[in-house]
Amino acid sequence: MKIKLLSCSLVLASAAVLSGCSVPKNVAYFQDTETSAILAAANPQPITIKPDDKINIIVKTKDPAISDLFNLPVYSTRIGQQTGQSINGTGARIRSYSASGSEGIAYYTVDPEGNIDFPVLGKIHVEGMTRPELAGYIKGELAGRDLAKDPTVVVEFPATGVNILGEVMQPGRYDLNRDRINVIEAISLAGDMTISGQRQNVKVIREEEGKVKTYVLDLTNMEKSLASPGYYLQQNDIVYVEPNEKRKRETTVNGNNALSTSFWISVGSLLMSAVTTIGVFVK
C-alpha cells in the first residue's frame, strides 16, 4: 500500500512539473490544407499613396532636355559619402545616396492633404492612387497638354515598409519591394518565426482613416488567414508575433526555465517534499 501511494504521488508530482515543459504542437503553418486543396484568397488591395509617403516620379522622353524639365534634380557625390536632405523650388525633399557614387534618389513627400507639387503640372492630388494610376495620370496630362511626346512615367515607393516584431529571427523594419505582399512573405523576410512564435495569434496592426485596427491571424489555418483583411499588408503595418505559452513561462521574473539549474533544484525539492509528506501519512 505504501509503495503504491508513493509511486502514484511521484507520478503526479512529476506530471505537474513537467507539463510546463511540453513541446508546442502548433508549429506548422496551414495545417488545415491538403496537398490538393484550392482556396480562394481575399482580394488583395494594392498599396495606395497616403499622406507623408515618399514617392519617386521619373519621366523619360526622346528629348533629354524635356525629360529634365519634369524630373527633380539629383546630386552626384563622392564614393563613400552621403548627402543630407534639401528642398528644391517645388517643395520636394531630395535625398541622395552614394553607394554607387554617381546617382542619387529624388523623391516627393506627400503633404497632409494628399498632394504633391509636380513641375509644370502644379499641384496633384495623389492620395488613394496606386503606382500605375499615378503614372498613367501624369503621362496623360503631359501628352494631353502637348508638354511631352510619348513620355514614359515610372512611379516608385523608395521608403515604404512594414515593421515586424516579436518572435521572429530578425525583427525590424523591412521595405515592401512590390505592391502586394502577404504576412507570410513578410515574416519570411524576418527569417521566419522562432520555434516559440504563436502561430495562432499573429497580429497585424494598421492605421486606417485615423483609427488603429488590429487583425488577428491564425497561420495554422489557411482558409481563415486568406479571408482576413490583414493577410495582405499595407505600408507601415506592424506585424507582431506573440510568444507561445512555453516561451512566456521561460521568461519568469527569477529566470527559472527548463534549462536552468535552479529549475531542476526546484523539481528535486518538490519531489523530496512529496515523498516526505507521503511517508508521514502512511506510517
Taking the C-alpha atoms of residue 281 and residue 257, their distance in angstroms, rounded to an integer, is 32
Torsion angles phi and psi, residue 108, rounded to 5: -95, 145
What pLDDT sits at residue 236? 93
Measured from the Cβ of residue 282, the count of other Cβ atoms closer than 10 Å reads 13
Helix crossing, 261-282 with 2-18: angle to 10°? 150
pLDDT in tens, the chain (283 residues): 545 544 554 444 455 444 445 445 666 777 766 666 666 666 777 899 999 999 999 999 999 999 989 988 765 444 344 444 444 444 444 333 333 333 455 789 999 999 999 999 999 999 999 999 999 999 999 999 999 999 999 999 888 899 999 999 999 999 887 888 999 999 999 999 999 899 999 999 999 888 999 999 999 988 889 999 999 999 999 999 998 777 777 765 555 555 555 555 666 666 666 556 555 555 5
What pLDDT sits at residue 160? 86
Among residues 243, 232, 137, 134, which one has the least CA distance to residue 199? Answer: 243
Measured from the Cβ of residue 209, the count of other Cβ atoms closer than 10 Å reads 5
Taking the C-alpha atoms of residue 112 and residue 51, their distance in angstroms, rounded to an integer, is 5
- Tell me the β-bridge partners of 56: 156
What pLDDT sits at residue 100? 34
Task: Tell me if 69 sits within 8 A of 174, measured CB to CB.
Answer: no
DSSP-assigned states of every residue in 5-42: HHHHHHHHHHHHHHGGGPPPS--SS-TT--TT---PPP
What pLDDT sits at residue 250? 72
- Alpha carbon 150 to its chain centroid, in Å, reads 38
Task: Give, in order, the Cα–Cα distances in Å from 150 to each of 137, 138, 207.
Answer: 13, 12, 39
What pLDDT sits at residue 279? 57
Task: Tell me if 19 sits within 8 A of 11, measured CB to CB.
Answer: no
Containing H/E element for 78? Answer: none
**Domains of the chain, start order:** 2-19+249-282 (no CATH), 54-156 (3.30.1950.10), 161-243 (3.10.560.10)
- The amino acid occupying position 162 is V
